[in-house]
Structure 1
Amino acid sequence: MPTTLRKLRGWPLTFLLAGLTGLSVGPFYWLVIAITRKDTEIFDWPPKLLLGGHLGDNLDRLQRRIGLLRVIGNSLLVAGVQTVGALVVALLAGYAFAKFRFRGRSLLFGLLLSTLVVPEQVMLVPLFKMMMSFGLLDTYQALILPGLCVPFAIFLMRQSLAGLPDELLDAARVDGAGEFRVLWSVVVPVMRPVLAALAIFLFLGSWNQFVWPLVALRSPGMHTLPVAIATLYGNKSTTDYGAILSGTALSTLPMMVLFLVLQRQFISGLLAGATKG
């Protein structure tokens, strides 16, 4: 009897979790259905719950209007290079702040943390003028360079590396390893879960970035996917919802693939951060 009562008590929680799961998955399911339907069918009521046969038409219109393959390539290039570069900068800076003693370290780290409270919009005008003076507007460099130094990423790496035993690093140095060899052979393998989790956050932020590419880019051939999708919006009678929703669905694919590939390291990194200290 007690076992039966425990099972009965668990049913409300099960129904609650099932409802929350439905609320989370529902919009994605509707998106999948919508990209296979004509514009006139997308907002029908009651909504259609089965796949249609117009996915190819929607993707074809999307390709013709924004150059789909080109903008996806732009986004992948910018997000990929920026993520790798930001990881390298965060690893080197975090290692220096965590394991080296030098004059002004606390001041520099405090200044770095203070930038976390500065809204991104405040930096748009100075950043635009800087890129214009360098002649980098409407280039990949204008999109990639500002995202190479991410204060939050440096802070996270510094906090993670602070818990790494100094004896482990000293043992490698005694064996004749230089600092870069210590970093590559000792620090990187230990920090792999944290790096994987950080890579997902950095890629997500870069892939979804909209305001700065909109300001820095002028030619349609340089557009990233979020900016290109925004150009499809018009008034209610001219907005191509099938193409827009198809582009939105495509924009989620790289994040899903990246998460599936790095899922184990991502969860390990989160657990390591949660149990540290």
Structure 2
Amino acid sequence: MSEVSLHHGISVQRIGAMILRYWYLLISSWPRLLDLLYWPAIQVITWGFIQYYAAQNASYFARAGGTLIGAVILWETLFRGQLGFSISFLEEMWARNLGNLMMSPLRPIEFLLSLMVMSLIRLLLGIIPMTLLALVLFHFNIYSLGLPLIAFFFNLIFTGWSVGIFVSGLVLRNGLGAESIVWTLIFAILPLSCIYYPVSVLPPWLQYIAWSLPPTYVFEGMRALLIENTFRTDLMLEALAINAVLLLASFGAFLALLRSARKHGSLLSGGE
């Protein structure tokens, strides 16, 4: 059977084969599935009760409605999108299989695209139960946001992929000794993304840095929608423009780190 190729000879069959590999790996391990469900559930329950308390004791939070739970769900979208990408990559490192893949006909771009699709699958498995818990326990329906939710979702997943591609390249070049960066780098932008508070809370000099991060626009847009019933199209377009630059830069960084790993022999070792 002939291969179906996309632009520049990208093979749909090879991408599909990699997606199937990660899917079978995921469904064959209940701890992996439990991890997808457990932490989002804990997050939404914990922050839901915090919001109940805040609504009873602070006029701002009472006026803000479901901003805390909405922020948690959107943060999990960003975090799980990046983590889903990086975990699939790390599983190749842990299995010492990355060298085999890079010597196969699989192209680096095909490898990254398969990781992106797998990231979406992992994300949906964790986020959908989380949104249902928020609806049942706290009567917050994230889907009531309508079409703006799509803009929020894709801007956050694009940022997650950018971070995931970059940190995967760092681990590829530096070995599993750099594995902790997979979990730590995304949290470095958490305070500056203004997830639980507006940008105006930050000192003026930090606000410039905050506005250079796409998630900041998403969370400001979420608050404008929930509090003022206004969808800020300008914020979403600015976030999309920054995300486009970040994605291209992350692809370039990954390919450069891959070449460096091949040159220095770290592609096959991949140890600590």
Normalising by structure 1, what TM-score?
Answer: 0.32
Higher helix share: 2
Normalising by structure 2, what TM-score?
Answer: 0.33
**Which one scores higher on RCO, CA 8 angstroms, separation ≥ 6?**
1
Kindly name which structure, 1 or 2, has the bigger radius of gyration based on alpha carbons. 1
